[in-house]
Amino acid sequence: MTFDKESTTLVFFHHGIGDVIMAIPFLRACDTALPADANLVVLVKSNLEKEILDLISWNHSLDIQLFDTRSNSLYKLFKLFISLRSLNPTNILAPHVTKSLRTAIFINLLGAKLTVGPAGVKYISFYHQVSAFYLLN
């Protein structure tokens, strides 16, 4: 996968600490592949995950934002959506997204040109779909 200069790549890792730790090699690969003037935004579930990612040295300055799909505050979710939409993301990478309707709405309405995620997820049709079977082999 190649990335455009001055692009904004949004990565969804909002399932918890274990998933974020296991995703560090993936984030490193994205960080290495991005052009120098590209932006990398990572969505995590809690401050603990944010603090762990802050401990790592990155090529790009990571913009780490909290995204808790369990939040009952529609105002908080709408405010986050407006903030993310204003970044005009070109790529959305969601390697571990599930059938959450809120996440699906976010991903579909953010308007990225390129979306990558698992095949067979309810409510979301990714531009590039990767089957879990492929990832395990």
What are the sequence ranges of the domains in the chain? 8-130
pTM: 0.79
Does residue 132 carry a pLDDT above 60? Answer: no
CATH number for the domain whose boundaries are 8-130: 3.40.50.2000
Q: Which two tokens stand for residue 126?
A: 């990714």
Residue 84 main-chain phi, psi, to 5 deg: -70, -40
In angstroms, the CA 91 to CA 111 distance is: 9
pLDDT per residue as tens digits for the range 87-125: 889 988 887 776 667 777 778 888 888 888 777 766 566
Does residue 130 carry a pLDDT above 70? Answer: no
